[in-house]
Amino acid sequence: MSLGHACVDVYQGAVAALVPYFVAERAYTYATASGIVLAASLLSSVVQPLFGALADRWAMPWLLSLSALLGGAGVALSGVGGSYALTLAAVAVSGIGVAAYHPEAARVARRVSRGSHTAMSWFSLGGNLGFAAAPLAVSAVVAAGGGLRATPLLVAPSLAGAVLCAAAVRAARPAPTADAVGEVCGAVPGVVSGAAPDPASGAAPDPVSGAAPGEVSGAAPHPVSGAVPDPASGAVSGALPDLASGAVSGAVPGVVSGAAPDPASGAVPGALPDLASGAVSGAVPDTVSGSNDWPSFLRLSGAVVCRSVVFVGLGTFISLYASRRAPGGEVAGTTALFVLYLGGAAGTLAGGRLATRYGRVRVVRWSYALTGLAVAGVVLVPGPLLHLFVALASAGLYVPFSLHITLGQDYLPTRMGTAGGVTLGLTVSVGGLASPLIGRLADATSLRTALLPLIVLPAVGCLFLRRLREPAAAGP
């Protein structure tokens, strides 16, 4: 899951990494170039909650590979031709692919990780590594391949991502065990007990008592098979389960031995998992008990919006800004964007470990405070120190990355797909909506002036977080 996440999130980072090349080759203004980031984010921010709601209702593991292919196809086509409209359409397709991926991926990852903060950090780390690889991949392909016309080569990660996602889904699907099959099916006629089936009905005598059908407690035989229901459970001896529902003929669907459903999961002991989805017949899939705390979730979402604007604003313009404020020109710009994304790899892993020790809400608050100070250094301090402040800003932005996801899911324990879609999607999507405003301000004044509001937003995020409390952890 982590490697697949990396292959998909390459395309979120690739859009920002392509901005300097659009400015250089097509003479786009700041506002026009940031419109490309908007196109990738606008549809994504609209449809991602929809995909989250769908993930709450149905398991859609097939969507992971499809969304990886869409994300890659859009970016691959973005540099083909010189039409601004076609470029916007291409990156919009990529944005839809990325939006479709994250809610289902977050649901599957949370289920596989069994709610572990550290395991979810590894899942998020994959996305961060994909982001970090984007500037290097774009620079290698576009610079070495002769400009934007080489962007079709950027489809390669999506092909790898589709294969990895399919493999992860297959590996995560639980297989029926021999014990489970035995509990559901009971004795196969003539095999377990060794007794010959009744010539009229085909039902085997009871392996313990040797009683023929109809001789157990006077129970009437099953009208189709002639088998007699077990007096304790009502299950038909020797009956095979229905392949669609897992229910045994003559028994209540999902009930094998009369056992009550597990109160935590709703699963019925002895029921076979559904062969397509892995869900157990008679259980409500992915249902977690608990009440939803919408006020806390909305406050968390407000903080995520602030973080998103800062992250995407820096991602869109840091390459151009660093190339003019630090020695090295274009190389300094690519390095700054790489550091911004790469620093998140360590930050995400540190976030999981710090949260285990100090609590998620406290760690998120600390991260937002660090981000404000670091962004001030990025904007106000020129020269080589700029890259140091970019690294600090990256840590502050990424430490709470996976914590946003698990907090959102624990605030909405019965809407984990929606929570994952919103928290993971807002991380990038909403920031893209603000990028054209930053670009317009940069065109009217200067890029440095346009980046000044990014210093204030982490403080606004801290205000949203001030009244948050640590939620009770939901089940996987």
Least confident segment among 20-29, 107-116, 215-224, 335-344: 215-224
Give the mean model confidence (pLDDT) for residues 427-452: 89
pLDDT band at 236 (very low <50, low <70, confident <90, very high): very low
pLDDT on residue 191: 42
Chain segment 262-316, per-residue pLDDT in tens: 444 444 444 434 433 334 333 334 445 568 999 999 999 999 999 999 998 999 9
Nearest to 97 by CA among 8, 160, 34, 169: 8
Least confident segment among 12-26, 112-126, 159-173, 257-271: 257-271
Chain segment 429-438, per-residue pLDDT in tens: 678 888 999 9
pLDDT band at 77 (very low <50, low <70, confident <90, very high): very high
Find all residues with CB under 8 Å of 266, minimum gap 6, and list them. 282, 283, 284, 287
Residue 20 to residue 366: CA distance in whole angstroms: 33
Q: Which residue has the higher pLDDT, 177 or 5?
A: 5
3-state SS of the chain: helix, strand, coil percent to 5? 65, 0, 35
CA 79 to mean position of chain CA atoms: 28
Tell me the Cα Rg of the chain: 28
3-class DSSP assignment, residue 53: helix
* Cβ(319)–Cβ(20) below 8 Å: yes
- Can you spell out the DSSP letters for 259-314? PPPPTTT-PPTTPPBPTTT-PBTTS-TT---S---HHHHHHHHHHHHHHHHHHHHH
Six-digit token string for 176: 């029926």
Least confident segment among 224-238, 297-311, 359-373, 410-424: 224-238
3-class DSSP assignment, residue 350: helix
pLDDT on residue 203: 52
3-class DSSP assignment, residue 241: strand
* Cβ(322)–Cβ(385) below 8 Å: no
* Cβ(270)–Cβ(256) below 8 Å: yes
Given a cut of 50, whether residue 250 has pLDDT beyond it is no
pLDDT on residue 453: 96
pLDDT band at 426 (very low <50, low <70, confident <90, very high): low
Give the mean model confidence (pLDDT) for residues 323-345: 88
* Cβ(160)–Cβ(7) below 8 Å: yes
**182, 237, 341 from 255: Cα distances, Å:** 14, 14, 51
pLDDT band at 181 (very low <50, low <70, confident <90, very high): very low
Chain segment 359-405, per-residue pLDDT in tens: 999 999 999 999 999 999 999 998 889 999 999 999 999 899 889 98
Given a cut of 60, whether residue 193 has pLDDT beyond it is no
CATH of 2-174+289-465, one of 1.20.1250.20, 2.60.40.10, 3.30.70.3280, 3.40.50.720: 1.20.1250.20
Given a cut of 80, whether residue 355 has pLDDT beyond it is yes
* Cβ(423)–Cβ(405) below 8 Å: yes
pLDDT on residue 101: 86
How many other CB atoms are found less than 10 A from the CB of residue 249?
16
pLDDT on residue 117: 66
Share of the chain above pLDDT 70, in %: 71
How many other CB atoms are found less than 10 A from the CB of residue 48?
28
* Cβ(351)–Cβ(402) below 8 Å: yes
**198, 206, 212, 251 from 192: Cα distances, Å:** 15, 10, 15, 21
Find all residues with CB under 8 Å of 276, minimum gap 6, and list them. none
> Scanning the structure block, which residue is given the tokens 């210093």?
455
* Cβ(8)–Cβ(98) below 8 Å: yes
Least confident segment among 98-102, 112-116, 468-472: 112-116
pTM, 2 dp: 0.66
Highest mean pLDDT among 58-67, 170-179, 315-324: 315-324
* Cβ(4)–Cβ(105) below 8 Å: yes
